[in-house]
Amino acid sequence: MGLKRALTLKAASLVVVLLFVLLLTTIIIGATGISDKILNGMVQDNLRAIRQELAREIRNPEDLERALEKIKEDLIRSYGLDKPWYVRMPDMIWRIVTLDLGNSRTVVSFSGSNKISDIILERLPNTVLLMITVLIINFALSLMIGVRVATKPGSFLDRLISMYSAVSYALPTWWLGILMILVFAFYLKIFPFGGMYSTPPPVDPLVRSLDLVWHLCLPVLTLVIATSGSWIYITRSIVITTAQEDFVSIARAKGLSERIVLWRYIIRPAAPPILTNLILSLAAYLGGAILTETIFSWPGMGLLYFEAIMSVDEALILALTYMYTLIYVIARFVLEVLYVIVDPRVRYA
């Protein structure tokens, strides 16, 4: 019961976030007239398709124009272009939610469609792949190194980690990516400059996946170097704090082995605050991923952002902003559920 309530509350607050972003973006594009531009573009697209179809049936050019004029009026009405932007806002929001944002003017999906939903859905897995890989590596690293460092606070390694985390706070992920390309791709030639597969992509599934891993190395390395410092440092601090708790000395007094003490009495109770930290760093992490994709031409949504900005594609940027918020909200929720699982205090509160 308490569990459900806690999760429902979290979900509700995240939905509010999503709604807020939707409202903010639609009001802005409405008030600045950009929504008119997007909808007009959609009307034109539709009209072009209809014109080709009708041209086959109606031979007389004048009739054709007249018929098209009527269809155009219908279209304008159905898209709500005859009404002011604030009247059609609910409709607009629905359109964004369903990713029905018409076509991109410039970007085409790998399969050749220029429908925004096609483009985004095609890129989504690539972004998720990159982010999850980095997430797992960071998590493992912070546990392995953070816990080890925590047993020797003040040691050389410990100070090194503190320094590293301070420096990495000031280090832009994307610039680090540039350095990595210069060093590992340009000078050392061990990794590719970017992309996801070699051209042409290998056909054999095994070689193909190895090729993918090879291409994944540099972007993952970049993100890990840029973000792991603070993860390790925070894990270390949390573990040090937890190790000072009374229940840890009691566990030792109980004659438990160091291994049990470490896992059951230090790492396990440290999990919730570590997870909280993960939740808080998620947004920064998402931002880092957008820029890293751009640097490494990783064909995900982050690169798409860059392409959309370069070709001034308003509809695409709007859709991406929504998608990123959605990914963020979903990731947040998954982490919140995890949090509830690892921390009994929330479960019964």
Partner 1 sequence: MSKYFIEGLSEFWASKTSKMGLAFLLIIIIISMYTLFTFPLDYGTRYWNNPKYWADNPKIAMPEWINLFVGNKFLEHNILSTSTIQKMYPSGAYYIKTYEIVYDLMADQFPTFITLKFDNVTFFSRPPTIEVLVIRPDNSTINLYKFVVEPPLSTEEPPYSRYVVEPKRIMLSGEPQLSLVLSNFLLDKYNLSIDPKDVAEIGYEKVIFGEPYENGFKPLKGKYVFTTTLYARDVRDQIGTVSIVIGGQVYGLMGTDILGRDLSQGLLFGFPVALLIGIVVSVLTTIIGATLGIVSGYVGGRVDEIIQRVCDVMNNIPQLPILIFLTFIFGGKLWIIVVILVLFGWPSLVIVVRSMVLQAKSSSFIEAAISVGASRWRIMIRHVFPQVAPYILAQMIFFTPSAILAEAALSFLGLGDPSIPTWGQILEYGFRNGAVFLGYWWWVVPPGLMIVFSAITFVFIALGFEPVINPRLRRWR
Partner 2 sequence: MSLLDVQKLMLYYKTSRGTLRAVDGVSFSLGKGETLGLVGESGSGKSSTAIAIMRLLPRNVELYDGRILLNGVDISKLSEKDFREKIRWKKISMVPQGAMSSFNPVLKIGFQVAEPLMVHQNMRKPETLKKVRELFKLVGMPPDYVDRYPHELSGGMRQRAAIAMALILNPDIVILDEPTSALDVSIQAQIMNLLKNLKKELGLSMIFITHDIALASDICDKIGVMYAGQIVELSSSENVLLNPRHPYTQKLIASIPRLREEKMPEFIPGAPPDLVSPPSGCRFHPRCPYSDGMKCVKEEPEMIEVEDDHFVKCWLHSGGSK
Applying CB under 8 A, the residues found at the interface with partner 1 are 13-14, 16-17, 20-21, 24-25, 28-29, 32, 34, 166-167, 169-172, 174-175, 178-179, 181-182, 185-187, 193, 282-284, 286-287, 290-291, 294-295, 305-306, 309-310, 314, 317-318, 320-321, 324-325, 328-329, 332
* Longest distance between any two alpha carbons in the chain, whole Å: 96
The size of the interface with partner 2 (CB under 8 A), counted in residues, is 24
327 φ/ψ angles, rounded to the nearest 5 degrees: -60, -45
b/e per residue 147-170 (b: at least 16 CB within 10 A) = bbbbeeeeeeebeebbebbeebee
Which residues ranging from 160 to 179 are in contact with partner 2 (CB under 8 A)? Answer: none
Q: Which residues contact 35 (CB under 8 A, 6 or more apart)?
A: 26, 29, 85, 88, 92
In sequence order, which residues have a C-beta less than 8 Å from that of residue 187 and are 6 or more positions away?
none
Q: Cβ distance 175 to 291 under 8 Å? A: no
Nearer to partner 1, 216 or 323 (CB): 323
Looking at residue 11, the DSSP 8-state letter turns out to be H
Among partner 1, partner 2, none, residue 264 binds (CB under 5-8 Å by kind): partner 2
260 binds partner 2 (CB under 8 A): yes
Which is closer to partner 2, CB of 251 or CB of 303? 251
Neighbours of 326 (CB within 10 A): 16
x-or-dash string of contact with partner 2, 320-349, rule CB under 8 A: ----------------------xxxx--x-
Query: For partner 2, which stretch binds (CB under 8 A), given 43-51, 185-193, 250-258, 323-331?
Result: 250-258
CB-nearer residue toward partner 1: 129 or 284: 284
Does residue number 238 form part of the binding site for partner 2 (CB under 8 A)? no
Residues in Cβ contact with 141 at an 8 Å cutoff, skipping those fewer than 6 apart: 224, 228, 231, 232
Residue 247 found at the interface with partner 2 (CB under 8 A): yes
103: three-class secondary structure by DSSP: strand
Task: Output 25 or 235, the one with its CB closest to partner 1.
Answer: 25
| Span 269-288, contacts to partner 2 by CB under 8 A | 269, 271-272
Q: How far is the CB of 315 from partner 1 (least distance, A)?
A: 12
Cα–Cα distance between 134 and 279 in angstroms, integer?
15
Pick between residue 56 and residue 189 the one whose CB is nearest to partner 1.
189
Please give the Cα distance from 20 to 36 (Å, whole number). Answer: 21
The residue (of 204 and 246) whose beta carbon lies closer to partner 2 is 246
Q: Give the C-alpha distances (Å, rounded to integers) separating 293 from 9, 174, 183, 290.
A: 34, 9, 18, 5
CB-CB contact of 317 with 25 (8 Å)? no
The stretch among 176-184, 214-222, 262-270, 314-322 that binds partner 2 (CB under 8 A) is 262-270
Pick one of partner 1, partner 2, none as the site partner of residue 271 (Cβ within 5 to 8 A by kind): partner 2
Of 102-110, 267-275, 306-314, 321-329, the window that binds partner 2 (rule: CB under 8 A) is 267-275
Task: Give the integer Cα–Cα distance in Å for 45 and 135.
Answer: 41
| Residue 25 contact, options partner 2, partner 1, none, Cβ 5-8 Å cut-off depending on partner type | partner 1
Q: Pick between residue 196 and residue 275 the one whose CB is nearest to partner 2.
A: 275
Phi, psi of 103 (to 5 degrees): -110, 150
334 binds, among partner 1, partner 2, none (CB under 5 to 8 A by kind): none
Interacting residues toward partner 2 by CB under 8 A: 245-247, 249-257, 260, 264-265, 268-269, 271-272, 342-345, 348
